[in-house]
A and B are shown apart, each in its own frame.
Chain A
Amino acid sequence: MTQSAVPTRATAGRVAINEAGLFVRGLGADAPAVLVHFDDQHIWSFTPGADGQPGRGGTSIAWPAVLQPYLDGTTRVRLANLDGSVVYCDEEHRFGAGAGRVRFVDRAGHPLAVDKMGHLTRSFESTPDAVKREILEGTQVVIRELRERCGVEAFLGYGALLGAVREGGMIAHDSDTDVCYFSRHTDPADIILETFRIERDLKELGWEVLRMSGGDLKVIWPLSDGRRVHIDIFSSFFVGDVFYVLGNRSGELDLADLLPLGTVDLDGHEFPAPRNPEALLVYWYGPSWRVPDPAYTPAEDPHAMVRLDGWLRGFRQGMSGWTPLLRGSSRPDSKLPTGGSEFAAWVHGQIGPEEAVLDLGAGNGRDSIWFAAQGHPVRSSDYSRRSAVEVRGLMKRSGITDVRPRQVILNETRHVFHLIALLSREPHHIYARQLVGCLDAAARENLFRLGASVLRGGQSMWLEFAVPHPGAAAPEPVGLVTRFDPDVLTGEIERSGGRVVSLEVAPGVDMFDNPDPAVARMRVTWRAGQSAETADVKESV
């Protein structure tokens, strides 16, 4: 990884390039979008005013973070405006010490690009026609099922609609197709319930559907070349006089411009579309929607975003941090340990040899597998979908076959109530190592609701977590976990009717088994009709 700073001047030529970014002399904040190509492959587009840093006689721009790991080797860097009439730079550049050409491709060798959200993706420009056709046909199927099976008025949205109306085809630098539907509901709770029904209906088709918020879903659509494209399904609705479309758009719209739906043609495929598509394009992209802008970033109303966040979001925070952390964590060379933890051994010594364990926040499943190896029936759950993949990987390596991994989002009350229904019939101890510090108040409330509902047959909740300590650094992984005050936690537990049976605070280890000066081990029980009692609390720090 480079330590260079983004260049702030160009001493020779018009453009200075290094591993951190580039500087373009004479490029002002009001200049139109700049397209970046490496060896004729479109890599990324940026808008100087929005993405750059104005400097002495030009603009500095940092490379997107997702691109930096690939900057090793030589490539021909071409910077130009959209139609190529202005070329800022077209020259060979060597990044790092790499001997070959820079290869910005996925594992299968497919060319990559950085999209407007800063994510790695594959743009339509580098997608073969046959695959493009598959994507379009997949989008048609999704819209058809939304209309016929789910009974909602679905239509082509965002960049796909823009491409259809402006160019009659997919926009070269776009990378996905978005589908929208109009909800007749005007109360956020009903809009969310409608998405639950739609999610259920689509999953019944055997589709892989991800929930991104209370108002938008994502269908994972497999292609014949092995890739899986994401087709986003965004709800749109009125609350009061304001028309909202997920992601984060809000504003005025005459419903007569949307319904009844008409059709548009996109690369020879017919799609349902707003009755007056131009009105929606003004709503999404402003009055200058006819002028191509490959680096377009929307101006979102911050007040509307706060409203949408409050109504529809709040259960996926940190998800994008956990997935890369867990990826590959079942391998022997993983930074995350794969053997059972000391806490697991400590708990094992205090429960019956065949008693079942629910490992909550299991990560790569190190303790799930270890408990199973000791003879305990085990359910393994984690916030991240990636966990199940790693748990299965670890099961395969260890020869354990009967751990049941499943994603559980404690902020999703539906997940918690499903667990309550399940565990009240199949009693389990609840084991949560290094979980408490990852949870917000709502998730902790659901955790203790779960405990209060199912731990009434002699089972316990076993918690290990880092606690505040003078001079102690933030626990790893920084930003995803914090230290938590055991007194505050005890208060929350007691308010849920639980009792802290034992509490020890002593030097221990963090998620990576690195030494930590203050780690709490807590055993909690619940009994029907129990009143809060004084706990047997032992402090050793």
Chain B
Amino acid sequence: MASARAAKTKDLARRVRDRVRTSSVFDRSLRGRVLRLERELEADRQLHRKIAELSDVVAELLIPIQDRDEERVTEVLSQYRKSI
């Protein structure tokens, strides 16, 4: 019973916090701006892995299968999968 009440209170607190954090006042506040910057910075960091993976796909998979030789394409596909 007590834990259900605690969970309900926590849920309410979470909803209030989310509501505050999506308000335009919070968004303009220093704390809001820092939170937004942190999120954007994190998304930016994650691009490094995506760029590396896409570069690898282009260099090691797409360019080699450009010649459209069926046997060669099958071999490239098989080799690429073994190497990742």
CB-CB < 8 A to A312: which residues of B? Answer: 48-49
A-B contact number at CB 8 A: 78
Q: How far is the CB of A453 from chain B (nearest CB, A)?
A: 12
Instruction: Count how many chain A residues have C-beta atoms less than 8 Å from C-beta atoms of the other chain.
Output: 30
Contact A199 B48 (CB under 8 A): no
Residues of chain A from 179 to 204 with CB closer than 8 A to chain B in the complex: 187-190, 192-193, 196, 199-200, 203-204
Which residue in chain B gives the minimum CB-CB distance to A190? B52
Stretch at the interface among A52-60, A283-291, A347-355, A416-424: A416-424
Interface string of B61-82 (1 = CB under 8 A from A): 1100100000001000100111
Q: Indicate if A413 sits at the interface (CB-CB under 8 A).
A: yes
CA distance A307 to B82 in the complex (A): 30
- Expressed in whole angstroms, the Cα–Cα distance for A473 and B65 within the complex equals 48
CB pair A187 B48 closer than 8 Å:
yes
Contact A310 B45 (CB under 8 A): yes
Q: A406 touching B81 by the CB < 8 A rule?
A: yes
Interface residues on B, range: 20 to 34
Cα distance A406–B84 in the bound complex, in angstroms: 12
In the complex with contacts A310-B42, A311-B45, A412-B53 CB distance below 8 A: yes
Q: Which of B41, B45, B52 has the most chain A CB atoms closer than 10 A to its own CB?
A: B52
Is A418 touching B83 in the complex (CB atoms < 8 A)?
no
In the complex the two chains form, is B57's CB within 8 Å of A189's CB?
A: no
B56 contact set on A, CB distance < 8 A = 193, 196, 414
Chain B residue numbers with a CB within 8 Å of A442 are: 46
- Are A189's CB and B52's CB within 8 A? yes
State whether A189 touches B82 (Cβ < 8 A).
no
Which residue of the partner chain B has the closest CB to A411? Answer: B49
Residues of B within 8 A of A193 (CB): 52, 55-56
Q: Across the interface, do A413 and B53 meet the contact criterion of CB distance under 8 Å?
A: yes
**A228 at the A/B interface (Cβ < 8 Å)?**
no
Query: B49 — which chain A residues lie within 8 A by C-beta?
Result: 188-189, 192, 214, 311-312, 314-315
A-B contact pairs, 12 of them (CB 8 A): A188-B48, A196-B52, A199-B83, A200-B84, A203-B83, A214-B49, A310-B45, A310-B46, A413-B50, A413-B53, A414-B53, A414-B57
